[in-house]
Structure 1
Amino acid sequence: MLPVRAALVLPVLLALAACEVTPEGEIVPQRGFLSGFAAPDVSGGPSARAEPGGSADLVEAAAIAGGDVVVAGPPGYCIDTSTVESSPRGGFAVLASCNILSAGQSGAAVTPALVTVSAGPREAQPVQPGAETLARLSDASALAADESDTLTMVYLAEGGDALLPGGAPQYWRGAFLVGARLIGIAVYAPPNSGLTRAEGRRLLELTAERIRRASPDAPIPVSGNGAGTSRG
C-alpha cells in the first residue's frame, strides 16, 4: 500500500509522466493527457486563490496549518488541490506546472518539476536545522549545501526517484521558519524534465520566498542553526 502522501501525489505524477519534453525544451502533452483528472472545486474557497486569467481549477496559493502558512510558488507553478492537507498542527501541498495541471490550457510552459511543501506544528522554540542535520534526517548524502539565517538547503545524492519512479535520484531539500512553524520543501525532477541542479536550487529559493511573502506576518524566532555558511 502506498503511503498516504505518496497516494495524494500520484495524480500529478501521472500528469508529469504524460508529458514529453522536446529538445527545444517545450512541454508537449501526450494523447489522453490528464484524462479523468479533476481537481476539487475550490472557487471562492477561503484557503485558495485562482490564478488570474486561468482555469477555475488552477490555484496559485493555498493556506494550510490553520492559515498560518500560505503555500505559493513562482510564476508558472500552481497548487495541485487534490494534495492539500491542513489542520492546526500542520499541513502539506504539492506545486507543479500550471500548464501541465491544466492539460496545456493555461499557464506558461515552465520546466516540469514537482515541489512538495510541508508545515510542522507550532513550536515554543523552533529551530531551523542545519545542512548536516537536514541531510541526516533525509537519510542521504549531501552533494552540496547552503545555509543562511532564513533558509537551509541541501542537494541530496539519492532518494528523489523514491517519490518519482524513473525520475532523477538527486534532488533539493530545504527548511526554513514561518513564525513558530518549520517548513520543509523538496524539489523533484520527473523523467526527462531537463531540470538542472542550478534550476532546482533556484526553484526552491523562489518558492521559499513566495511562501514567506504570502504567509501572514508573524515574528520569526531566532534560529539555532549556526547559519551563514555556504559550501558545495
Structure 2
Amino acid sequence: MPRRAFACLAMLALAACEVDENGEVRGFLPGGETGSASGRGALASPDRDAEPVRRVALAGGAVVVGGPRGYCVDPATVETNGTSGFAMIASCRIIAGAGPEVAPVIVTVTVGAEEPAPLLPDPEALARLAGGPARAFPERGGLVTAQMQRGGSTVLAGGDERYWRGAFLQGQRIISLALYAPEGSELAGDRGLAFLGDVRDVIRSASPGAGRG
C-alpha cells in the first residue's frame, strides 16, 4: 500500500489529506494534528508467534480501541502521542494467524484530541467531505455515517470501490472510523453500517467512562 494512501487513512472521516515538503501528513481534525506516514503499512503475513492484540489504549489511555469477536488491532499500525492516536483493526487470523474465520475487512480508527465542545458533522456533511458520490445515513446511537461510492480500491488492493466513513463522540473527543472491504463484500454494502456500529460499541464499552458520548 503506498505511503501516501495509507497515511491518509489517519485523517479519514473529518479530513482531507496532504503531504508537505517534509513528507509529513497534514490533516484537518480539530487542532490540526499532523502525523508522519512512517510506521504505517499494509498488513504483513501473519506472525504465528504473535499474541493477538484485541485491545489497545490510545491518547494516554483515554480511549481503548478494539474490534468485534474475531477482529484484532494490528500493532504495527498503532500510533499515539498522549493526546490523540491511530490504529487499524482487521481479522485476528490475518494479523496473528489465530482466531475464528471472519469476513476480511480493514477498519481504521483515528482518535482526535480532547476538545471543550466537540461537534460532529451531520451525515450530509460527512458525505460531502468525500469529494465524490456518497450516501448519507441518519445518525444512529450517536454514530454519523456515510457510504462513499468510489475510492475504496485506491486504498485497499482488490478492494470494493465503496467504503464507509463514520464518526462519534467518546467523551470530549471525536473518533473517526473508515471501513474498507474486498470487492463484492457485504461489508462494503449495507452490512458495513452495522459493523461500524459494532466497532463503536466495543470502543465505548472498553474505554474509561464507558457509555459516555
Please, what TM-score do these two structures have when normalized by structure 1? 0.70
Instruction: Please list every run of 5 or more consecutive structure 1 residues that lacks an aligned counterpart in the other structure.
Output: 16-33, 40-54, 222-232
Does 1:113 find its partner at 2:115? no
| Alpha-carbon distance in 1 for matches of 2:158, 2:210 | 40
Find the counterpart in structure 2 of residue 2 from structure 1. 3
Structure 1 residue 77 and structure 2 residue 67: aligned? no
1:10 is paired with a residue whose SS is coil
Contact 1:9/1:94 (CA < 8 Å) preserved in 2? no
SS of alignment partner, residue 127 of structure 2: helix
Match of residue 158, structure 2, among 157, 166, 169: 166
% identical aligned pairs: 41
Range with bigger deviation, 185-194 or 132-141: 185-194
Q: Flag the 1:133–1:59 CA change in 2: closer, same or farther, 3 A.
A: same
Asked if 1:139 is matched to 2:139, the reply is no
1:1-232 matches, cutoff 5 A: 2-3=3-4, 5=7, 8-12=39-43, 15=44, 34=45, 38=47, 56-103=50-97, 106-148=98-140, 150-191=142-183, 193=185, 195-217=187-209, 220=212
Residue segments in structure 2 that go unaligned for 5+ positions in a row? 9-36
Q: Tell me whether 150-159 or 78-87 shows the greater mean CA deviation.
A: 150-159
CA-CA distance at 1:85 after TM superposition: 0.4
Equivalent-residue separation in structure 2 for 1:219 and 1:73 (angstroms) = 16
Any conservation in 2 of the 1:180–1:220 contact (CA below 8 Å)? Answer: no
> 2: distance between equivalents of 1:193 and 1:219?
31
In 2, the alpha carbon distance for the partners of 1:138 and 1:120 equals: 19
Give the match's secondary structure for 2:102.
coil
For the aligned residues, what is the CA RMSD?
2.4
- Contact 1:83–1:92 (CA<8 Å) still a contact in 2? yes
8 Å Cα contact 2:187/2:195 also seen in 1: no
Give the whole-Å Cα distance in 1 for the aligned partners of 2:124 and 2:40. Answer: 27
Shift of the 196–136 alpha-carbon distance from structure 1 to 2, 3 Å rule, reads closer
Instruction: Go from structure 1 to structure 2 and tell me whether the alpha carbon gap of 1:76 and 1:219 turns closer, same or farther (over 3 Å shift).
Output: closer
- Per-residue CA deviations over 1:40-60 (Å, capped at 9, x if unaligned) read xxxxxxxxxxxxxxx643100
The count of aligned residue pairs is: 182
Post-superposition offset of 1:196: 4.9
Q: Spell out, residue by residue over 1:79-129, the C-alpha distance to the aligned partner (whole angstroms, 9 max, x if none).
A: 0000000012310000000111123xx211000000000011111110121
From the superposition, tell whether residues 141 and 191 of structure 1 become closer, same or farther in structure 2 (CA, over 3 Å). closer
Alpha-carbon distance in structure 1 between the residues aligned to 2:104 and 2:210: 32
Paired with 1:145 and 1:72, the residues of 2 have a C-alpha distance of 24
Note if contact 2:3-2:40 (Cα within 8 Å) is conserved in structure 1. no
CA distance in structure 2 between the aligned counterparts of 1:129 and 1:192, rounded to whole angstroms: 29
| 8 A Cα contact 1:88 1:121, kept in partner | no
CA distance in 2, matches of 1:152, 1:133: 10
Stretch of structure 1 that moved more, 198-207 or 158-167: 158-167
C-alpha distance in structure 1 between counterparts of 2:170 and 2:120, whole Å: 10
TM-score by length of 2: 0.76
Larger Rg: 1
Contact 1:60 1:72 in 2 (8 A): yes
**1:129 and 1:220, CA in 2 relative to 1: closer, same or farther beyond 3 A?**
farther
3-state secondary structure, aligned to 2:100: coil
Following superposition, the deviation at residue 178 of structure 1 comes to 0.5
